[in-house]
Amino acid sequence: MFTTAAQLLDLTDKKLVLVLRDGRKLIGVLRSWDQFANLVLQDTVERIYAGNLYADVPRGIFLVRGENVLLLGEVDLDREDDIPTSVTKAPFEEVFELKKKEDSKRKLGDKKRHAELQALGFEPEHSGEILF
């Protein structure tokens, strides 16, 4: 068993799902990769989830820098269309608006939590994102 980017050899020309560090979920066919695990996906769609809805946004050919991949898995083509009944496909605009509302609610909760921690003497992480 390889423990390097060579493991991707078995996944070449297969449909994959990727979760990126920024939270995006991509589904596409792996066409190429290099020693840094940089990936080239073809026929890529970005799947956006909000509540119990999801939407697919076509992205075409997508180049992903290896350090941004959080999770990678092969899509089982036999079960690909078996979507749970608790999740429904909806128009992109509807899902996008719901996602924006969820994100703003989460950020508001983060701000409150950070303020409470600062009152106790803790400093927030400096992840590059401005929370206040």
What's 55's domain CATH number?
A: 2.30.30.100
What residues contact 67, with CB distance under 8 A and at least 6 apart?
A: 21, 36, 37
Beta bridge partners, 89, equal 54
What residues contact 10, with CB distance under 8 A and at least 6 apart?
A: none
What was the pLDDT predicted at 82?
79
Average pLDDT, the chain: 88
Quick one: tokens of 5? 């980017």
132, part of any domain? no
10, part of any domain? yes
56, part of any domain? yes
Q: What is the pTM of this model?
A: 0.77
125, part of any domain? no
What was the pLDDT predicted at 88?
86
Residues 37 and 27: their CA atoms lie apart, in Å, by: 16
Domain that holds residue 97: 5-119
pLDDT tens figures, 96-114? 999 999 999 999 998 999 8
What residues contact 108, with CB distance under 8 A and at least 6 apart?
A: none
pLDDT tens figures, 34-64? 988 899 999 999 999 998 899 999 999 999 9
What residues contact 72, with CB distance under 8 A and at least 6 apart?
A: 11, 16, 17, 18, 19
What residues contact 89, with CB distance under 8 A and at least 6 apart?
A: 53, 54, 55, 56, 83
Give the count of domains, the chain.
Answer: 1
Per-residue pLDDT band at 66 (split at 50, 70, 90)? very high
